[in-house]
A and B are shown apart, each in its own frame.
Chain A
Amino acid sequence: MILPLLLVFLGLTIYPFVYMIYMSFHRYNLASWEKPEFIGFGNYREIWRDRTARSSVDFTVLLLVTAVPLEIILGIGIAFLLRDFFGERVFRSLLLTPMMVPAVVAGIAWKMLYNFEFGPVNYFFSLLGIAKVSWLGTQLFSRLGVVLIDVWQWTPFVFLILYAGLQSIPRDVVEAALVDGASGFSALRYIELPLLRPLVWVVLIIRLIDVLKIFDIVYMVTFGGPGSATHSYSFYIYKVGVSFGWDVGYASALSMLLLVAVTVLTNILIRTVRLKETLEL
């Protein structure tokens, strides 16, 4: 029964994976038209000296610590907000739209919104008396801009899961607490939030992994600029691996580091949520 899965994965993952490890120890660049040349850890040493690589790590970490918590806080907030609100079904459906918009299309929309001279975002700011903001030309705002897009696109996903989790909390528990004299806030604080915690962990894992892979939005909206302010790590791998004439060796080394980082991160998280028990393995 498991055979189809194994067949597909063996062919399509093991080979690229081995290829990646092999290439990460070689100098191999399609633009030079030369055969791969073994250079040991040369590519890995190179990474430590690479300014852009370092700033792309900075920005990716920044995304992890800003966008993901924001999404979770907003997701919880909106879930509580919409609960028992009239027309919640319609609002829920509407709210899910951003996560279904393909990233490239979302990029197009936001690039228009962020336009300096004519963009609606700066227009709304001007209505509030705020001067035009260079969303794509300053370090602070271009970074903020990418965070905002990620929050826009993925809060709905967080909301969706937490909202349904909230629905599945038995009402009588909360009501019993309220009857016993607990305030609405402490019922929320001590009963509902703890019950949501496992869900929050799961969402956190999924989001962390996906943020580490963020690429399309940067590609469409900022192209990593200005300076190296919005180079995400995956975007940088793309540039090295594809745009600069397929520097396959160096891109493989960069990818290996990413893979190690993600694996370590998720293993810690999986252990924390005791995935093994919940999967009954």
Chain B
Amino acid sequence: MRGIGVIKGIIVGIVLFFFLFPVYWLVTTAFKRSEDWFSWPPSFLFSPTLGNFLGLEGGFFGSTTTAIATITPYLRNSVVVALLVACLSTVIAALSSYAISRFKIGGMGFVSWIISIRMLPPIASALPLYIIFSRLHLINTWWALILSHLVFTTPFSTWILLTFFNEVPRELDEASFVDGANTWQTFLWVVLPLSAPGLAAVATLAFIQSWGEFLMALVLTTGKEAQTLPIYLGRFITGWRIAWGPLAAAGIVTMLPVILFSLLMQRYLIRGLTFGAVKG
């Protein structure tokens, strides 16, 4: 049995190495000087620098493509957009899946429609959405991004929450009605609390999706007022070099909040996803 344990340990080690090495490499590159970004053999030991973050090195070029000192507004936009998308899509999905679950509004046809929206290729809707938002004067605002991200996040949330609400026994609703509560009160104080892990899970997934979204952010924003981090990254790929250090540094900033957020929610995420999926 001991031998099996050792083999298992080795396999676990290999698996972890495969899944974590790319992240490790990205993180270390962010702290390397330009001569260490690439070398043969690759530099595992190096003297770290904060230059890629603060722009202390390479004084001959400006600050726009040499360090991530200018990242703050983009980080702010990403945080605001992703948080609002997470909240709003959870609220909308909760309301609608409750309605579907309890009152059978729309039925199976409606559910399939919701799922098929998730499949709509984002490319196809980019230009029409641009037209809508420019008429509403929403180009280069958070709302353009929030609304367009909701289209992609809400269907999946609805689908998962639906299985959750179906799990909550109807008897509880009825008991609550008997106590004199109306539909809203029942929903808010009886059904929602029981589905908390599901709500947290869909909020987290919506956050992850919105955070990494690239195409809508590209098409619907024009400057630092609303552009999000995935767009910011492009500036380090220039005609005279790819600035791997700052690129990796920006990568860390792009990655860290979403990982922290997800780790915080992890307990709910796992319970939520499986609870929903086991039944779904």
Contacts and interface: CB of A to CB of B under 8 A. Distances in A.
- Is chain B in direct contact with chain A in the complex (CB below 8 A)? yes
Interface in A40-68: none
B105 A123 contact: no
B38 A113 contact: no
B268 to A, nearest CB: 12
B106 A2 contact: yes
A20 B124 contact: yes
Contacts of B255: 100-102, 105
A contact face: mostly helix, strand, loop, or mixed = helix
Interface of B: 8, 11-12, 15-16, 18-23, 25-26, 29, 37-42, 91-93, 95-96, 98-100, 104-108, 111-112, 115-129, 132, 147-148, 150-151, 154, 158, 162-163, 166, 183, 187, 208, 211-212, 214-215, 219, 229-230, 233, 244, 247-248, 251, 254-255, 258-259, 262-263, 266, 269-271, 273-274, 277-280
A263 B116 contact: yes
Nearest to B121: A255
Contacts of A19: 127-128
In the A-B complex, the 9 residue pairs with the smallest Cβ-Cβ separation, listed nearest first, are A102-B212, A164-B274, A16-B125, A118-B38, A255-B124, A5-B96, A16-B128, A19-B128, A109-B26
A16 B124 contact: yes
Given A12-B151, A279-B108, 5 more contacts: A108-B251, A113-B21, A120-B25, A168-B274, A213-B119
A34 interface: no
B12 A4 contact: no
B123 A94 contact: no
Contacts of B208: 99-100
A118 B44 CA distance: 12
Given A95-B19, A102-B230, A164-B271, A4 B126 contact: no
Interface of A: 1-2, 4-6, 8-9, 11-13, 15-17, 19-20, 78, 81-82, 85, 91-106, 108-110, 112-113, 115, 117-120, 123, 152, 155-156, 160-161, 164-165, 167-168, 198-199, 202-203, 209, 212-213, 215-216, 219, 234, 237-238, 241-242, 246, 248, 251-252, 255, 258-259, 262-263, 266-267, 270, 275-276, 278-281
B120 A13 contact: yes
A212 B118 CA distance: 12
B42 A123 contact: yes
A166 B162 CA distance: 22
Contact of B147 (A12, A113, A117): A12
Contact of A266 (B115, B132, B258): B115
